[in-house]
Amino acid sequence: MDIRGRRQSSNIEDRRGMRPVRTGVGLSLGGVLFLVVLSLLGINPLPFLGVATQAPETQMQESTQPYQESPQEAALREMTAVVLADTEETWNAILPQYGVQYAEPTLVLFNGVVQSGCGTAESAMGPFYCPLDQKVYIDMSFYNDLSQRFGAPGDFAQAYVIAHEVGHHVQNLAGTAEKVHAAQQRAGKVEANELSVRMELQADCYAGVWAHHAARSRQLLEAGDVEEGLNAASAIGDDRLQKMSQGRVVPDAFTHGSSEQRVRWFRKGMETGSLEACDTFSARQL
């Protein structure tokens, strides 16, 4: 990607260097993890807040010393801020056409552990969007995991991850997340998982819509970027991750979609630039 001289978003909250402190009463670790998983799936966890066990609350304490980032981290932070700014350009232009005012999300940078509106999350959970505070959370060490562990290197692969989480924000603003959660409450486990897959694939498609406009309107993409994005979508498909973690694939347990599905929907959004093309909930075949 060509990010030289481009605007960086001011909606960045840097919490790197902050550490957890136990104070008062709040959610138990099990309750927190449950709520974070819901937010990772794009589900509004608010209705579940009352079922979590009470335990010491985790608050974040800022370090007395400014966080000392490496040159590599500084470059990743700049890339992240440029990509977030470019998603703002896209969605500020598109959503009002559908009667939805785009409220720009905040992107929180953290390392190790973070306190979100959906509970306490660790970096091992990967990037996620919390609908309760409308913030995207990223530990930039995930970019290294994406490259080294999942075999998806490149700055556009990293941009795809950001755009996917912003896609969940779009779903939240549009009311899709709330409708899906209500439907999941009435569904069995297999049906609820399928709804989650449709939700995630739509976020992939929305990431593709952003890529379409970033390339056509602002010439952000360079040669090879499209391939990096498609490779990233493939690298984190449920079938591939299940194979890596448990040696077998269980389609009924998919929550994000197979590698082939994620690539296909990301490509569809990227080729069309159209929200109508991203209607995964009406699609007979994913």
Q: Decide if 35 is inside a domain.
A: yes
Q: Decide if 245 is inside a domain.
A: yes
Question: 10-residue block means of pLDDT along the chain (286 residues)?
Answer: 93 88 50 48 43 46 72 95 97 96 97 91 90 95 91 92 97 95 91 93 97 94 89 84 79 84 95 96 91
Q: Decide if 50 is inside a domain.
A: yes
Q: Decide if 174 is inside a domain.
A: yes
Bridge-based pairing of strands 54-61 and 106-109 is unpaired
Q: Decide if 155 is inside a domain.
A: yes
Q: How far apart are CA 90 and CA 85, in angstroms?
A: 9
The CA radius of gyration of the chain, in Å to the nearest whole number, is 18
pTM of the model: 0.84
Q: Which residues contact 116 (CB under 8 A, 6 or more apart)?
A: 36, 39, 108, 128, 130, 132, 133, 135, 137
Predicted pLDDT of residue 30:
46
Q: How far apart are CA 272 and CA 139, in angstroms?
A: 31
Domain that holds residue 129: 12-278
Q: Which residues contact 132 (CB under 8 A, 6 or more apart)?
A: 39, 44, 45, 46, 116, 117, 118
Predicted pLDDT of residue 251:
75
Q: Decide if 99 is inside a domain.
A: yes
Q: Decide if 6 is inside a domain.
A: no
Q: Decide if 160 is inside a domain.
A: yes
Predicted pLDDT of residue 241:
79
- In the chain, how many domains are there? 1
